[in-house]
Amino acid sequence: MTDFQQEKQVVRDFHRDLDGAGGAALWMPHLTEGHRWRGYHPFGEIAGARALATRFWGPLKSALTRMQRREDVFFAGRNQMDGFASVWVVSMGHLMGLFDAPWLGIRPTGKMTFLRYCSFYRVEAGKIAETALFFDIPHLMAQAGQAPFGPQTAAHLVQPGPRTHDGLLQGAQPAAQGEATLALINKMISDLGQWQSGLPLEEELALTWHDDMIWWGPEGIGATYTIARYARQHAGPFRAGFTDRTGTGHVARLAEGDYGGFFGWPNFTARPTGGFMGMPATGKPGEFRVIDIYRRDGDKLAENWVFIDLLHFWKSQGVDILGRATGIEGAAQ
């Protein structure tokens, strides 16, 4: 069995104090003095708990009042990318609240609003030393009637958790299950990560994915179901729109039980040469900062929740999506 109970408890305690009605003084002690935070554009990297409270959590909690965490996936594991030396804990779901005040120039609705999120926490000596928190700002904008992108190739949804409803791994898990999940993720990266298998796309996907796979993609692309529709509604258009993709690089990659995932800063770079998401090709290399969470079912992958910092990518291409949609250039800076 793998037992990451101490690390999981650190994160559970942090979430309890962060999500409660108390102030930052309650949750800041859960972070190390030199805590490093990586977040979705326009936040980027934030050093230290106090700056994190001032720049991110304070304004967000003021905007989404009565905020509650609706967690769908929770697991931990050792990080393959540093030789399995560090332990990371992963939490994924939605932050739900009443959108009562402006945030980043996005107009409040006074209604329930869901902010998709996924967090990777590196836990060391009883504290959180490092965080990657990706959150789907364009999805929140669409709920507020300020959709930043044009028609997308797949579906706009408030995305559910796993079909199997077993994503909250609170207890210890059989080590062999996590090892099998990580091995399958690695095989998928090897098969798909470089776009060079020589196989037709659907056959390439079928090497590691169930035919009834679900790809829960970000706003601007959307969610899609089955290999055939995923190939048509995302993978095919994405590959057609980009060239010169670099190799895959991750900061953390881990698995526990039937769940695993990774994030990169960036995961890869690619050059838009064929147009994508209704935008013209620029020919300029851009970074893709991505979090992927997977559910394994037997010997293949069944579900994939994906967070892509599309605001960062398009800003690198000279398009300030957030500023254009809200009328506030550099909305969070």
From 313, 306, 291, 260, select the one nearest 149 (Cα to Cα).
313
Report which residue type is found at 34: G
- How confident is the model at residue 152, as a pLDDT? 86
Instruction: Give the percent of the chain with pLDDT over 90.
Output: 83
* Cβ contact 217:235 at 8 Å: no
Whole-number pLDDT of residue 47: 97
Confidence check: pLDDT of 280 > 90: no
State the pTM of this model. 0.95
Cβ(197)–Cβ(204) under 8 Å? yes
Dist. CA 44–CA 265, nearest whole Å: 10
pLDDT digits (tens, 9 = 90+) for 195-249: 555 688 999 999 999 999 999 999 999 999 999 999 999 999 999 999 888 988 9
> What's the average model confidence in pLDDT over 64-88?
98
In this predicted structure, what is the pLDDT of residue 324?
A: 85
State how far the Cα of 221 lies from the Cα of 159, in Å rounded to an integer: 13
Classify burial at 195, counting beta carbons within 10 Å of its beta carbon; exposed 0-12, middle 13-18, buried 19 or more. Answer: middle
Residue 57 predicted with pLDDT over 50:
yes
pLDDT category of residue 172 using cuts at 50, 70 and 90: very high
8 Å CB contact between 31 and 50: no
Long-range CB contact pairs, 25-29, < 8 A, 24+: 27/57, 28/53
CA dihedral of residues 292, 297, 300, 302 (deg, nearest 10): -50
Handedness of CA 143, 149, 153, 159 (dihedral sign): negative
Number of neighbours of residue 186 by Cβ within 10 angstroms: 17
Q: Per-residue DSSP letters for 262-312?
A: EE-TTSEEEEE-S-BTTBPP----EEE-EEEEEEEETTEEEEEEEEE-HHH
At residue 276, the pLDDT reads 86
Q: What is the pLDDT of residues 290-319, one digit of tens each?
A: 999 999 999 999 999 999 999 999 999 999
| Structural domains of the chain in order of their starting residue, each with its CATH number | 5-143 (3.10.450.50), 175-326 (3.10.450.50)
Q: How far is CA 258 from CA 119, 168, 219, in A?
A: 18, 11, 26
Q: What's the whole-number average pLDDT of the chain?
A: 94
Look at 69-83, 97-111, 142-156 and tell me which has the smallest mean pLDDT.
142-156
pLDDT band at 151 (very low <50, low <70, confident <90, very high): confident
pLDDT > 90? residue 135: yes
Evaluate whether 137 touches 116 at the Cβ level (below 8 Å). no
Question: What is the token pair recorded at 179?
Answer: 């090892």
- Give CA–CA dist 318/307, Å, rounded: 21
Q: Residues for the chain: how many in total?
A: 333
